[in-house]
Amino acid sequence: MTKIKESGMRLLLMLTAVLMVNCVSAQEKNAIIKFGSKKHDFGKIYLKKDSVVSATFLFENKGNAPLIVYKVTTSCGCTVSEWT
């Protein structure tokens, strides 16, 4: 082969390799959680016996894979989280 043909073949192989890597990474799927709000301030609460106070946190999956919630935690031990 001539040097021009060899250079062209090398360039073609390199471009093909780069395109293949880009195609593989573009197919990667991830779940991305987006919260409307991550905090809630109840202010002062005057509870009566057996009172319940609650807040709802809305979130959305902005990714391209299923979002699975395995664990929910609170910032202090005085609150309990419930989720489905």
DSSP letter at 27? T
Report the distance separating Cα 52 and Cα 70, nearest Å.
Answer: 25
pLDDT of 8 higher than 80 = no
pLDDT of 62 higher than 90 = yes
pLDDT in tens, 17-55: 666 665 555 568 899 999 998 888 888 888 888 888 888
pLDDT score recorded for residue 81: 81
Report the distance separating Cα 17 and Cα 35, nearest Å.
Answer: 38
Six-digit token pair at 54? 């609650």
Residue-wise burial string across 64-74, b where 16 or more C-beta atoms lie within 10 A, e elsewhere? eeeeeeeeeee
pTM: 0.54
pLDDT (mean) for 72-83: 80
